[in-house]
Amino acid sequence: MFIDEAKIFVQSGNGGNGCLSMRREAHVPRGGPDGGDGGNGGNVVLVGSLDKQTLIDVKYKPHFRADNGGQGGSKKCHGRNASDIVLKVPVGTVIYKDSEKIADLIEENQRIIVVYGGKGGRGNAFFKTQRNPTPRTFQKGSPGIKATLILKIKLIADVGLIGYPNVGKSTLLSRISSAHPKIADYPFTTLVPNLGVVKLNAAGRLNSFVVADIPGLIAGAHQGKGLGDRFLKHIERTTLLVHMVDLFGQEDCTLEEKYHSINKELKLYSSILAKKDQIVVANKTDLPGAKERLRGFSSRIGKKVYPISAVTGEGIDKLVYEIEKKLVLYNMN
């Protein structure tokens, strides 16, 4: 199950109290204070992990509490420092505390302490001075911290596939990568984002790049219609968008109306998405009448259009080459 948002409740451990103790041994007069310090409470730490793909582990077990530090002891014994709680979350997880973004875990093993454990209190041995050789003072450990965190995954991919439902995004992804997304002839076949790694031949300037197939968008996606508002965030990190148009789908509107409708949703959702570079792809060129439908489309939208057939593979090599070329240029800049 793909869970890309979760609310969790965390609490760090309390610091242990310092000890009030006086040394008492036979034949040792005026032994003096020997109370040790308390141990520190455990922190709660979040770590980015490539082994995790979903937040399901924390979604249904949302409460995490670190252990308290140990109490200080006599003979200047230091209390035990509590161990940290370490939670692994997918790389690409954004962490919010009190509606403020506090971390974006975009690399493996990147970590953040979200709540610090309480400090251990000082024992009375710490307070010994020449003026006060037998202090009766000690400190209590400081309390741990409670916090409510919102976790949101934003996929890390080089390229995002966008378009209406059933335009062939999943078929294209299965063609150019080893991914096996669900493919069927009904709307919203793709219910969660799918990632695929495109591996290039020796002549390629990049070894590989990652493509994200986003569930189909419809008019009103930015307001929650369909699945768009839930998954548009997953293409905010992408370098490039591949905008697919079905030459034969959505008979109630023209090709350019389909194209402009999707771009309108991107703009209404995020100015970041609206500014991303796009490669426009017209799919299903293998069907009769495709050339007639495609004629003039490029000039009407003012962008070059790459005709392909995701089913037969026609035009896909040229498309992959163009994607690679744009990614190389972006990396150079």
| pLDDT recorded at residue 229 | 56
pLDDT at 86: 97
For range 25-32, the mean pLDDT: 72
Residues 248-268: tens digit of each pLDDT: 876 667 889 888 988 988 888
Instruction: Name the H helices within the chain.
Output: 56-59, 169-176, 228-231, 255-269, 271-274, 290-294, 297-301, 316-332
Q: Could you tell me which residue, 24 or 255, shows the higher pLDDT?
A: 255
% of the chain residues with pLDDT over 90: 52
3-class SS letters over 205-223 = CCCEEEEEECCCCCCCHHH
Q: pLDDT tens digits for 96-126?
A: 998 899 999 999 999 999 999 999 999 999 9
Count Cα atoms within 13 angstroms, Cβ side, for 41. 27
- Please check whether residues 82 and 172 belong to one and the same domain: no
**CATH code for the domain of 178:** 3.40.50.300
Does 257 lie in the same domain as 148? no
Mean of pLDDT over the chain: 86
Q: How many domains does the chain have?
A: 2
Q: Band of the pLDDT at 299, cuts 50, 70, 90?
A: very high
**Residue 166 in this model has a pLDDT that exceeds 90:** no
Averaged pLDDT, 285-295: 90
Q: How confident is the model at residue 199 (pLDDT cuts 50, 70, 90)?
A: confident
Q: Which of 153, 181, 216 is the last residue of a domain?
A: 153
Task: Say if residue 150's pLDDT is above 60.
Answer: yes
Instruction: Tally the C-alpha atoms within 13 A of residue 329's C-alpha that lie toward its C-beta.
Output: 8
pLDDT at 225 > cutoff 50: no
CATH number at residue 117: 2.70.210.12
Entry pTM? 0.77
Rounded CA separation 243/161 (Å): 6
CA-only gyration radius of the chain, Å: 29
User: Residue 69 pLDDT > 50, yes or no?
Assistant: yes
- The residue among 99, 130, 153 that closes a domain is 153
Q: Are residues 322 and 213 in the same domain?
A: yes
pLDDT confidence of 188, banded at 50, 70, 90? very low
Instruction: List the single range of 138-152, 195-209, 279-293 with lowest mean pLDDT.
Output: 195-209
Whether 23 contacts 160, CB under 8 Å: no
- 172 in the same domain as 132: no
Confidence of residue 216 (pLDDT cuts 50, 70, 90): low
Residue 41 and residue 141 in one domain = yes
131 and 223 in a single domain? The answer is: no
d(CA 260, CA 265): 9
Tokens standing for residue 183: 């493919």
- The per-residue pLDDT for 21 is 92
**Domain limits at 164?**
159-332
Query: Could you give the CA distance from residue 278 to residue 161 in angstroms, rounded to a whole number?
Result: 10
| Residues 319 and 229 grouped into a single domain | yes
Which of 60-64, 99-103, 160-164, 181-185 shows the lowest mean pLDDT across its residues? 181-185
Could you tell me if 26 and 78 lie in one domain? yes
- Do 168 and 222 lie in a common domain? yes
